[in-house]
Structure 1
Amino acid sequence: MHAFSHSTTSTPTAVPVPPALSLPVIESAFPRQLHPYWPRLQEKTRTWLLEKRLMPADKVEEYADGLCYTDLMAGYYIGAPEDVLQAIADYSAWFFVWDDRHDRDIVHRRPAAWRRLRFRLHAALDSPEDHLHHEDPLVAGFADSMVRLYSFLPGTWNARFARHFHTVIEAYDREFRNRTQGIIPSVEEYLALRRLTFAHWIWTDLLEPAAGLELPDAVRKHQAYRRAALLSQEFAAWYNDLCSLPKEIAGDEVHNLGISLVKHDGLTLEEAVTEVRRRVEGSISDFQVAEREALEFADSLADGTVSGKEISAAVRACVCNMRNWFSSVYWFHHESGRYMVDSWDDRSTPPYVNNEAAGEK
């Protein structure tokens, strides 16, 4: 199976999908879209990474486009205003860099550096304006992202986003402890933790500024909307586990659904891969049912009032973008250099990371 990459050249190139990772239903029933702003988005995020010193200039030059971080967001938040998409894309790129710093702090046994960063991110989340010039580029870049993301919707949305991201930071701390102590969580423990480390509710929250409207709590928490949102994120997290299993085994990881299934359910690696794939495929078919219910719910909100019409349209836009997440995540995993472990000089050290002890400075 092939897709056409929009990523690194002006001429589309065929991207092969290994048979073990191929999902024909995604390729046939979830047509890929890309926000028309994407070429400028890629250029501006690359510039932002340089300006904020989030990646060394040589690594930005060599790897930034090929990592396809902007492709992932441009394939998800279709219809978002350009400034909203740019803020989301920059934040997403920051998130990947943060994830890499977290990984390097674990690999190089830097608990003090991680603890400092954790507390600084909590503080920057609550008062980003005070951290725009922080000495640690990761903190300053995060603060810049938060100032921008907080500018689109009311303070109630900002408070919710902050609440959700505080839990993500703490989940990363639990992962830090698990990995440094060699603890492989049970399947149920892992699934609960994964919803936080993958930031399920953060990416779902960002559907609202993309749609231009904060959804009322009763709408956002409605079972039809929430189930579709959760399934789209579960697919992304589990498919990521399926694709990143070789990378994470090479990196002595303990957080992967496949690894938990082997350790706690007694499966062979081959059986675990089959089970993760079964869950991935189940999330797709379950979403297709949930999507219909969520769209019916969106239609029911159009009650003849101006407000009802706006909320109905926003919910429909959010649900349509939940659908876009499937194809965007799928192709990202086959186009991004982040998962091309076999091409790395050292399978445990991604070539695009800053492997120095940045956190100890």
Structure 2
Amino acid sequence: MPAFPYSTTSTVTAVPPSLCLPVIEAAFPRQLHPYWPRLQERTRAWLLEMRLMSADKVAEYADSLCYTDLMAGYYLGAPDAVLQAIADYSAWFFVWDDRHDRDIVHRRPAAWKRLRERLHTALDAPRDHLRHEDPLIAGFADAMVRLYSFLPDSWNDRFARHFHAVIDAYDQEFHNRTEGVIPTVDDYLELRRLTFAHAIWIDLLEPSAGCELPDTVRKHPEFQRAALLSQEFAAWYNDLCSLPKEIAGDEVHNLGISLIKHEELTLEEAVAELRRRIEQCIQEFLAAERGALRVADEIDDGTVRGKEIADAVRACVANMRNWFSSVYWFHHESGRYMVDSWDDRSTPPYVNNEAAGEK
């Protein structure tokens, strides 16, 4: 099928049978924010400006990695400036993830410890780090200053709490991987909610909708369930698609790997179990989505404020749905997962494989 049914492209994306989910292709039509062409152009320029990727790697890989496609397919309805800030932050997140991976592969605990501490500090005072010597810190600070500008301090404080937890989870993953610890399935699922940053992507639904949701809405079980399921799908489908890359790289953080180690499944059985969980997650979301929309209907009480909050909830729930299709197609279009085309299956060609951080 076309990569974007509503765009001018005629590209057909082939999905391997082992990764194909007909329900996504049939029931979750893909959409794309109209700002996407400028988004791609400006994020590419931002990666260069922040020195997060070298000019040759930006030219060769930035567009094919499809980082902007992922965000432009998720945060529909976001003001252009909000989507741009989210997309730049998301691109930064992928670069950070790659630095973390290289620090593990090259056994650089001191570099990782320094980076982790700097990120915690920059998260609380990003304006103080805009000119930091490490491009990863300066780029993070730039993205955070922009993200903090859209909603009140209460949202900023919540986002910071959530991302501090993500940084700590990355530290746990660092130690697990360097020590060869494969988490149990339950431990992995708990940690994965943090390393995938479930709460962060859910938080970003609010500036996209132009409204900070009251705690009574955000913490409503129906709203929370729909939001969590959208993220669980994304994390588990990522694990399914990443399994060959991560086995090649001697990874220990993947639901499939935990199933093989602790449930004594074969690779084929682990893939089947991953698919079962993913497909169940989709079906449960369809029910949770209806419940979350009922929450919006209850809020829409005829008052101006009620309508504002209800419309924001509906926008958030619609984008939870968009996450399914955006994540699905991203994994089949992004060069990040085309491990069979790499010269070295354990070393992504788009990363800086030098000893970054050991200055």
| TM-score, normalised relative to structure 2 | 0.99
Query: Shift of the alpha carbon at 1:339?
Result: 0.1
Distance 1:281 1:170 in 2: 30
Aligned to 1:234: 232
Residue by residue over 1:311-349, the C-alpha shift from the partner in whole angstroms, topping out at 9 and shown as x without a partner, is 000000000000000000000000000000000000000
Contact persistence 1:3–1:16 (CA under 8 A)? no
Amino acid at match of 2:167: I
Distance 2:148 2:138 in 1: 15
Aligned to 1:197: 195
SS in 1 for 2:13: strand
* Matching of residue 300 in structure 1 with residue 301 in structure 2: no
Distance 1:221 1:55 in 2: 38
After TM superposition, list the pairs within 5 Å mapping 1:211-360 onto structure 2.
Answer: 211-360=209-358
Query: Shift of the alpha carbon at 1:209?
Result: 0.0
Query: Shift of the alpha carbon at 1:4?
Result: 2.1
Residue by residue over 1:78-106, the C-alpha shift from the partner in whole angstroms, topping out at 9 and shown as x without a partner, is 00000000000000000000000000000
After TM superposition, list the pairs within 5 Å mapping 1:46-57 onto structure 2.
Answer: 46-57=44-55
SS in 1 for 2:12: strand
* Matching of residue 147 in structure 1 with residue 114 in structure 2: no
Query: Shift of the alpha carbon at 1:359?
Result: 1.1
Aligned to 1:184: 182
Structure 2 runs not aligned, ≥5 long: none
Residue by residue over 1:197-237, the C-alpha shift from the partner in whole angstroms, topping out at 9 and shown as x without a partner, is 00000000000000000000111000010000000000000
Aligned to 2:24: 26
Query: Shift of the alpha carbon at 1:182?
Result: 0.2
After TM superposition, list the pairs within 5 Å mapping 1:37-116 onto structure 2.
Answer: 37-116=35-114
Aligned to 1:165: 163
Tell me the number of residue pairs that the alignment of Structure 1 and Structure 2 aligns: 358
Structure 1 runs not aligned, ≥5 long: none
Provide the aligned C-alpha RMSD in A.
1.0
Instruction: Give % identity.
Output: 79
Aligned to 2:3: 4
* Matching of residue 123 in structure 1 with residue 121 in structure 2: yes
Larger deviation: 255-264 or 10-19?
Answer: 10-19
Query: Shift of the alpha carbon at 1:191?
Result: 0.1
Query: Shift of the alpha carbon at 1:358?
Result: 1.0
Residue by residue over 1:170-216, the C-alpha shift from the partner in whole angstroms, topping out at 9 and shown as x without a partner, is 00000000000000000000000000000000000000000000000
Contact persistence 2:130–2:141 (CA under 8 A)? yes
Contact persistence 1:94–1:141 (CA under 8 A)? yes
